[in-house]
């Protein structure tokens, strides 16, 4: 099953990846092959099997509502490529009108 160019563009957009036309072509091939590979699983009859979302078999793993100290402001910001007024700087996102 070959993915269409539109499908590749859609997936790239959802993944926030800008692709060149060459890359679109390249990934379209690669992704299609990956999907084909995974599609082999469809040969197994799973009609009587419940979906598994978690392989640990655990449930109700929770903690009490207690606090512990957070990272210092310096530590929290230490990996930020850009910072200003003790905040992370990102590209501007849509402003209200």
Partner 1 sequence: MNNYEPIIGLEVHVELNTKSKMFCRCSADYFGKEPNTHTCPVCLGLPGALPVINKQAIESCIKIGLALGCQISKKSLFERKNYFYPDLPKGFQISQYRWPLCINGQITLDSGQVIRINRVHQEEDTGKLSHRGDVTLVDFNRSGVPLVEIVTEPDFRDVESVRDYAKKLQQLLRYLGVSNADMERGDMRLEANISVHPIAIASKASPWRLPDYRVELKNINSFRFIVAAIEYEIKRQIEALEKGEKLLQETRGWNEDKKCTFLQRSKEEAHDYRYFPEPDLPEIEIQNSDTKKIAEQLPELPWSKSKRFADEFKLTATQAQILSESKELAWFFEETVKHGNKHGVSAKEIANHLINKKTDINIVLPVQVIEELKGKRVGIIENKEELEELAEQAVKKNANAVLDYKKGKEVALQVLIGAVMKLSLGKADIAKLKPILEKLLKS
Interaction site with partner 1 (CB under 8 A): 10, 14, 16, 53-54, 56, 58-68, 70-73, 76-77, 84-97
Two tokens, residue 28: 């379209």
Nearer to partner 1, 21 or 57 (CB): 57
Please calculate the CA angle 89-96-14 and round it to the nearest 5 degrees: 65
Nearer to partner 1, 22 or 60 (CB): 60
Distance CA 32, CA 35 (A): 5
CB of 89 to partner 1, least distance (A): 5
Nearer to partner 1, 49 or 61 (CB): 61
Asked if 36 and 2 touch (Cβ cutoff 8 Å), the reply is no
Closest separation between CB of residue 18 and partner 1, Å? 12
Q: Which two tokens stand for residue 57?
A: 């078999």
């Amino acid at each position: 099953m070959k993915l269409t160019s539109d499908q590749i563009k859609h997936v790239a957009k959802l993944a926030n990846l800008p692709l060149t036309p060459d890359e679109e072509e390249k990934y379209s091939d690669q992704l299609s092959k990956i999907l084909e590979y995974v599609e082999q699983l469809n040969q197994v009859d799973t009609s009587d099997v419940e979906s598994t979302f978690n392989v640990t078999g655990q449930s109700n793993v929770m903690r009490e509502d207690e606090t512990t100290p957070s990272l210092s402001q310096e530590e929290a910001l230490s990996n930020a490529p850009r910072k200003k007024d003790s905040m992370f700087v990102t590209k501007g996102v849509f402003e209200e009108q």
